[in-house]
Structure 1
Amino acid sequence: MNQTFTVWEKTRQLLIVLLPILISQLALFAMIFFDTIMSGHASPIDLAGVAIGSSIWSPVQAGLTGILMAVTPIVAQMIGAMRKEQVPFTVVQAMYLAVAIAIAVVLIGAVALGPLLNMMELEPEVHDIAWRYLIALAFGIVPLFVYTVVRCFIDALGWTRITMLITLVSLPINVLLNYVLIFGHFGMPRLGGVGAGYATAITYWCITLISLYVVHRVQAFSEYGILTKVYRISMAAWKELLRIGVPLGFSIFFEVSIFAAVTLFMSQFNTITIAAHQAAMNFASFIYMVPMSISMALTILVGFEAGAKRFKDARQYSYLGISIALVMAALFAVGLLLFNEQVAGLYTTDEAVLRLTQHFLMYSILFLLSDAVAAPIQGILRGYKEVTVTFVVALISYWVIGLPLGYLMANYTSFAAFGYWIGLITGLAAGAVFLFGRLLALQRKKIRADEP
């Protein structure tokens, strides 16, 4: 990355960093996307089982990998402040922490998964698929967490196209494994939705091994000696990573878990409703990859400028990112209005599920504008290492406002299952307003402090 002086130069550098991140995120999400679509074509029961399993795993994955994403602003600010010699130690400590967290997740899951699923009033077939899907995914947890650290290191240096290429290479592997394991081709047993779990776990191993090879062999990364230097575990380094990572991870957890919680509450409805909700939520999450990618790019660029004490440049990047996100949200909204039935048809051939999915998709349009403001601001604040406020805002807007309102609307009005979506939309909008206010105050403070 380089220092920029004009709006055009900043726009160009933002796009150079952003586009590979966007492609990477879309490719990573495509694994879940294809899991859902291909499971849905196996049967509505397989789709519902994968939906429940994903709803349990997604917030855990997002929150814990969010902790490890502290590597990005830390390394970006080190690079901006010309302290490159500190990078290897930080990255290696983060990899140690990633393995420790992954092992803890597997052990806790082995104890808690059974009772958790038993608490839910699921149809027996759906319960069985959800259980076996999560067991299959567990084989990929360690490599997934290690890959998160490696990817954050690569991205923080500005080489986002490298992680893009790694992810693009792994996507066809995932689709092929889905095809073989879900539907039982090439002599393999037909595992249905459970096969999607094994396919994703194997793909995580592929991504991790490829990324480690690149870090070891490519000059831009090998000069840091990440895989050649051995350090003792440092509790002080872990404390620094957790100081930034825990609020960051919890803010992501609260945001993602609200959607998972709604899906779990949907278990009170029939399998068709669960399947339709999951299909629409999956597509809304797919669209969310755009503002999320902008958020990740802004963390890198704002962190780089903040590390160099160029706070006016950091502010310019902030508003460029938010503007791009709003334009993209408007385009997606128009597209979804025009092609509503075609999008629903991607997920199912069952007529009842198809029609109900269309209704849910119309509500998802309202997510777009809130996400276009909230997600980039979260990335900007992370670039400043301002992570506590995003944690507090996520807790209040989603769990104090969104979920209670959704529960009331779903259970005490005629909106039924759609009531949960109304609650989510309200929570997202509240979060966007709170975060924007905090961003304005923080940037004014930084710029005033930097003025003579």
Structure 2
Amino acid sequence: MAEMKTNSQRLKRFFILLIPIFITQTSLFAMHFFDTMMAGQISPQDLAGVAIGSSLWVAVSAGLAGILLAVTPIVSQYVGADQQNKVAPFIVQAIYLGIMMGILVIVAGFLTVPSILGAMNLEAKVYKISSSFLGLLSVGVIPLLVYTVLRCFMDALGQTRTTMLITLYAIPINVFINYIMMFGKLGFPKLGGAGAGLASALTYWCLLFISIYIVHHKPTFSIYAIFQQIQLVHFNTLKKILKIGIPIGLSIFFESSVFSAVTILMSRFDTDTIAAHQLANNFQALLYMTPYSIALALTIAVGFEVGAGRFKEARLYSIIGIVTALILAAFYMTNIIIWDYKIVGIYTSDYHIQVIAHRFLLFAALFQFSDAIATPVQGILRGYRDVNVSFVSTLLAYWGIGLPFGYLLANFTSLEAVGYWIGLISGLACSAIFLLWRIFYLQRQQPDLANRFTA
């Protein structure tokens, strides 16, 4: 990535980074979107089962991938500081870490998933679908995490278009496998909602193989010789990744898992309410890909400028990112209000579920502005390697404010299920305010920042 001299050049560079990242993240999320949408065409039980299984998986996978997101700022700063020789050994160690994490999460999943689903008091069919979905999905955990390392490596070099193209291949692959597995086509047994888990796992393997081929053969990446050396596990490097990655992963996990916690708490309501909540939550998560993509682009741009010691330029990229997120949030909010019933109709034709989901979706619109501030600011802070404050802020905002407040509203007022949405919106707003203060404070300390990035 070259240094940009003017604001127009910086704006162009930012969107060159952002657009492919946005397409990549939306494509990855599209697998969950199509899982939920296609399950809704089978039965309300399949919709609820897949939505619950997907909700639990998204929380865990987002947290795990968040740990590996440490690859992006570290590699960006290596490149910005002209230390390319450190990149390949670092990526190999990150791959080892991804494999270790994958093994641990598979074992943990088999030990804990039955108890988690059992605590939700689900219908027997919904329980079976969720359990089977997660069991089949576990086949793809390790390839997903290794692919995440390679994707972060490519993104950190500014090659976000490459990761976009790789991920775009995943959509038709996933939809096709979904179709034959869920509906029993081409001689395969009809697995219903559970088939979506197997389809996602097989798609993750495809993503990994494509990524390995490109990293090994495309000159932009092959010059680093990632796969041309054998290394032992280097625990100091793993520690370096975890020092930055764990706060990132926990921040993302606590933000994602609070929605899973709400799903568990909502189990006291009927299946239609659970399905409607997951429908609205699924669409809200789809829109979240925009501020999340902006955050990833900001981590790359800010990390590169910080690595080169250009703190003023890092601040300018921060402003560009936040303003872009706010403009898009206003656009999304307007369209949700106008097209709410049309959006719900994409997922299900069940009128009762549509009516309930309509209420949830209007609250999902309110998420947009707080997300447009809190999420990009977290990306900026990662570019500075300032990750612990984001973790604490997310933990307190969602689990200290949002969830308890939502529980009180849902269980002790007439708002019922809607109360959880109000609570989460309140927590996110608190997080946005605090994180804005943190970035203003940090960027005022520019003369004292240089020592942080010399290691």
Shift of 1:226: 0.4
CA offsets 1:147-204 (integer angstroms, 9 cap, x no match):
0100000000000000000011121000111111111112211111101101000000
Q: Match of 2:47, as an amino acid?
A: L
Tell me which residue corresponds to 2:68: 68
- Cross-structure match for 2:119: 119
Partner-residue secondary structure (3-state), 2:385: coil
Deviation at 1:55, TM superposition (A): 2.3
Deviation at 1:117, TM superposition (A): 1.8
* Pair 1:230–1:336, CA change in 2 (3 A): same
Aligned residue in 1 for 2:453 = none
> Are 1:195 and 2:181 matched, yes or no?
no
Range that drifts further, 438-447 or 206-215:
438-447
Unaligned runs of 5+ in 1: none
Under a length normalisation based on structure 2, what TM-score does the superposition of the two structures give? 0.98
Provide the C-alpha distance between the structure 1 equivalents of 2:387 and 2:320, rounded to a whole number of angstroms.
21
Q: Equivalent residues in 2 for 1:130-169 (5 A)?
A: 130-169=130-169
The range that moved more, 189-198 or 300-309, is 189-198
For 2:117 and 2:397, how far apart are their aligned partners in 1?
Answer: 27
User: Structure 1: how far apart are the matches of 2:17 and 2:231?
Assistant: 31
C-alpha separation in 2, matches of 1:46 and 1:140: 21
Please name the residue that 1:404 is paired with. Answer: 404
Considering only aligned residues, what root-mean-square deviation do their CA atoms show, in Å? 0.9
Letter in 2 for 1:82: D
- When normalised by structure 1's length, the TM-score is 0.98
Q: Tell me how far apart the structure 2 counterparts of residues 82 and 425 of structure 1 sit (CA, whole Å).
A: 43
Read off the aligned partner of 1:144 and give its amino acid letter: L
Match of 2:31 in 1: 31
Counterpart CA distance in 2 for 1:360 and 1:120 is 21
For residue 297 of structure 2, what is the aligned residue in structure 1? 297
Q: 1:301, CA displacement in angstroms?
A: 0.3
Offset, 1:260: 1.1
- What residue in structure 1 maps to residue 350 of structure 2? 350
Corresponding position of 1:14:
14
Q: Which runs of 4+ in 1 moved over 6 A?
A: none
2-side partners of 1:171 and 1:248: how far apart?
Answer: 27
After superposition, residues 34-45 of structure 1 pair within 5 angstroms as 34-45=34-45
DSSP 3-state at the match of 2:231: coil
Taking the TM superposition and a 5 Å limit, the aligned residue runs for 1:4-403 are 4-403=4-403
Distance (Å, rounded) in 2 between the aligned partners of 1:412 and 1:115: 27
Residues of 2 paired with 1:318 and 1:288: CA distance? 18
- Cα-to-partner distance string for 1:361-414 (whole Å, 9 max, x where unaligned): 000011000000011000000000000000000010000000000000000001
Distance in 2 (CA, whole Å) between partners of 1:204 and 1:172 is: 13
Q: Output the amino acid matched with 1:124.
A: A
CA distance in 2, matches of 1:24, 1:63: 18
| Letter in structure 2 aligned against 1:215 | V
Deviations 1:42-80 (A, max 9, x none): 110001111221222221111111111100000000000
Cα separation, 2, equivalents of 1:307 and 1:423: 39
What amino acid is aligned across from residue 219 of structure 2 in structure 1? Q
What is the CA-CA distance between 1:357 and the residue it aligns to? 1.0
8 A Cα contact 1:55 1:261, kept in partner? no
Structure 2 unaligned segments of length 5 or more: list them: 451-455
Quote the sequence identity (%). 51
Structure-2 separation of matches of 1:294 and 1:120: 35
> What is the letter of the counterpart of residue 370 of structure 1?
S
The 3-state SS of whatever aligns with 1:42 is coil
For 1:97, the aligned partner's letter is L
2:370 and 2:17 map into 1 onto residues whose CA distance is 23
Supply the distance in 1 between the matched residues of 2:119 and 2:57 (Cα, whole angstroms). Answer: 16
Does the Cα contact within 8 Å between 1:312 and 1:447 map onto a contact in 2? no
**1:21-40 CA distances to partner (integer Å, 9 max, x unpaired)?**
00011111100000000011
For structure 1, which segment, 184-193 or 65-74, has the greater mean C-alpha deviation from structure 2 after superposition? 184-193
